[in-house]
Chain A
């Protein structure tokens, strides 16, 4: 079974440019999460999809970040325009859908390393 995949693995862009990150969850996983780790700090939650719906987007830092999950399969996270402080590692995770608070394990992708110059 293929794991969570993310593309690209690395991205270097200049301030003001746009970058789009992609995440393909494990097949059949309805839950999809985005997290970010800024250098030296904690991994922080960004948002959570259940299928194509945004369940929780409380961690999105500002309106320069736009996440989509059309069709409930893969997801994209677009940063426009990118700022220096957006540099970090962006992780995607997925889990099966279960009703109720099951504490279902979240399976992580390898991350996308974003550097904004």
Chain B
């Protein structure tokens, strides 16, 4: 079974600075998808960024980018120019592309605080 590990329960960053959230996963599959979701306080979870495992190029979405290291099974999220609105729980998730289950496998999450 696949597992996702987020080793940083909490992180903090100064406004306008850069922060990197770590995520590692374990799988025997070669094709899969990886996601970062964000859940602001008292609000619903939204997708931040996604990565297809077959793509070597790291995904980027404005100030958010990932460092996808397939061999190391690592999928970190970098937030540049952090803003107060980035404060949230961030969840890393894995999904198989084998055509079987479509379930997302989540890590425990990292709580990000942005200090003004």
Chain A residues engaging chain B, CB cutoff 8 angstroms: 3-4, 31, 33, 35, 40-45, 48, 55-56, 58-59, 91, 100-101, 103, 105-111
CA distance A92 to B102 in the complex (A): 14
When the two chains form their complex, are residues A108 and B37 in contact, meaning their CB atoms are under 8 A apart?
yes
Main secondary structure of the interface of A (DSSP, over half): loop
CA distance A42 to B96 in the complex (A): 18
Chain B residues engaging chain A, CB cutoff 8 angstroms: 4, 31, 33, 35, 37, 43-47, 50, 52, 91, 95-99, 101-109
Decide: A48 near B107, CB < 8 A? Known: A103-B50, A103-B97, A110-B44.
no
How many Å from the CB of A91 to the closest CB on chain B? 7
CA distance A106 to B95 in the complex (A): 11
How many Å from the CB of B65 to the closest CB on chain A? 18
When the two chains form their complex, are residues A91 and B102 in contact, meaning their CB atoms are under 8 A apart?
no
Cβ of A56: which chain B residues have Cβ within 8 Å of it?
Answer: 101-103
How many Å from the CB of B103 to the closest CB on chain A? 4
